[in-house]
Amino acid sequence: MPATAFELLEAKAPFIPELAIVLGSGLGALAASPEALTGRAIPFAELGFPPQSVEGHSGQLIFCELEGRKVVLQAGRFHYYEGHPLATVTLPMRLYGRLGVKAVLLTNAAGALNPNHQVGDLMVLTDHINFTGQNPLIGPNPGPGPRFQDLSSAYDPALRATLHRAAKALGQTLQEGVYIGVTGPSYETPAEIRAFRAWGADAVGMSTVPEAIVARHEGMKVAGISCLCNMAAGILDQPLTHQEVLEAGQASAGRFEALVRRFIRDAAL
Ligand code: HPA
């Protein structure tokens, strides 16, 4: 990790957040909430991060208090498909770990593979399949985790239970399942989706997996939520567009925000 990024963040962070929340494509509404607008926003550029490019991502860390807890919202993330090395993709996780953040909530837009799930559903990640062909821990081990990181409960069971309790209290449907991480940026072929279903994947997306691995390596608890923004390739007889993904994310924004707020309130971190 570049020492300067941590030094810059440490100097600018108004407090040590308990929880970091990465806001996925179309799920950025929390960053425009009254609490966030009065929080301390640090543009990625001020931390020496590379500029952001993907539509729907603005690129800032927002330190604020939500539901009575100190959190940092990450609006925007780095994707491998943009050409960023995995060290950059996962740099925010290294920074949160070094800062003393206890848990991360990783959110994303994903394609649904499970025919029992519907566009617009939210899905708690129970596990992931790393199909990126890459691993962010390759190279000299920067610590603090071991050389061979255990991922047998990558997505914290207690935090998953908190999400389900929160959804129940809100009267929301909340799916759960396995997320398969791919590099993108092309969407999958129908044959790939059939193969992924046979492997047990319920959702597919282009983020989250490298971040989850590094967050675990930093000793932080991890929870993940996918917004199922489209049925994956070949499930419906229609092409996929980034526009539909963003629109489905926006349509789920209210439910997503309510769920995340309740989670923040109730989670034992
Ligand atoms: N595939 C991969 N990534 C995605 C998808 C998809 O169908 N939808 C949103 N992100």
Q: What is the pLDDT of residues 109-168, one digit of tens each?
A: 999 999 999 999 999 999 999 999 999 999 999 889 999 999 999 999 999 999 999 999
Residue of minimum CA distance from atom 9 in ligand 1:
110
Which atom in ligand 1 lies closest to the alpha carbon of residue 205? 3
State how far the Cα of 240 lies from the Cα of 245, in Å rounded to an integer. 8
* Predicted pLDDT at 256: 94
Helix (H, G, I), strand (E, B) or coil at 126: strand
Residue with tokens 């999400």: 163
* Predicted pLDDT at 56: 45
Cis peptide before 142 (omega within 30 of 0): no
- The verdict on the CB of residue 176 being under 6 Å from ligand 1 is no
Give the pair of three-digit tokens for residue 10: 């440490």
Q: Supply the pTM of this predicted model.
A: 0.95
Q: Are 187 and 111 in contact (CB under 8 A)?
A: yes
Relative to beta strand 103-112, strand 203-205 is antiparallel
What distances in angstroms separate CA 59 from CA 93, 136, 190, one per listed residue?
15, 21, 33
- The verdict on the CB of residue 227 being under 6 Å from ligand 1 is no
Confidence of residue 241 (pLDDT cuts 50, 70, 90): confident
Give the pair of three-digit tokens for residue 254: 């209210």
Q: Which of 3, 2, 27, 8 is nearest to 227 (CA)?
A: 27
Q: Residue 164: enclosing H or E segment and its boundaries?
A: helix 157-170
Domains by residue range for the chain, with CATH: 13-138+150-266 (3.40.50.1580)
Reported as a single tens digit per residue, the pLDDT across 27-60 is 788 999 999 999 999 999 999 888 766 554 469 9
- Asked about 217 being catalytic, the answer comes back as no
Confidence of residue 188 (pLDDT cuts 50, 70, 90): very high
